[in-house]
Amino acid sequence: MLATAMTAALALTVPADGNSDQWLARDVSGEGPIASFLSWNYSNVITRAHCANGQVTLQYFYTFPEAPSPAEAPLALLIDGASHRLAPSVDDMDRQVYTLSSQGKAALRRARNVDLDAPNEADEPWYLGQAAALVDLAKRCG
């Protein structure tokens, strides 16, 4: 019974779209909710989002040989077709992070489709789908 309860607590409750299984969502001690989007074969974390001081911040981990530096590579979330630029900065742990505006967070809370416009070899946005884990994070973030 305890194992069943633990399994249920860890299970993701995300809508069935083609990208739902690429999302992981957890509450991390000291950080609160996090949402990570994995590559198609689950071997790499593409982006990781968390709530920092009431703001949704993302880290972008995908690299490739011709990848531009973070300063040369603006990132944006495309939420239901509208672009919301992510402001680059460095957090308290000296990690490169990208912060979503308060308007972007409000849009994300009611999003139906999310893409991440970030550098990759295909030179097109990452299709994140319904991104229920990310939407839930935005709803829970201050």
- The CATH number that applies at residue 83 is 2.60.40
- How many angstroms separate the CA atoms of 45 and 36, rounded? 7
Comparing CA positions, the residue from 94, 98, 54 lying closest to residue 75 is 98
Task: Determine the distance from the C-alpha atom of residue 20 to the mean position of all C-alpha atoms in its chain, rounded to a whole number.
Answer: 12
Which pLDDT score is estimated for 17?
A: 53
Which pLDDT score is estimated for 12?
A: 34
- The number of domains in the chain is 1
84 falls within a domain: yes
79 falls within a domain: yes
107 falls within a domain: yes
Sign of the alpha-carbon torsion through 36, 84, 78, 17? positive
Domain housing 36: 11-140
3 falls within a domain: no
Which pLDDT score is estimated for 92?
A: 79
98 falls within a domain: yes
66 falls within a domain: yes
- How many angstroms separate the CA atoms of 43 and 119, rounded? 18
46 falls within a domain: yes
What stretches in the chain show pLDDT beneath 70? 1-19
The single-letter code of the amino acid at 37 is F
Which pLDDT score is estimated for 19?
A: 65
Two tokens, residue 105: 């967070």
5 falls within a domain: no
Comparing CA positions, the residue from 120, 118, 115, 127 lying closest to residue 96 is 118
Which pLDDT score is estimated for 13?
A: 36
Comparing CA positions, the residue from 32, 84, 34 lying closest to residue 59 is 34
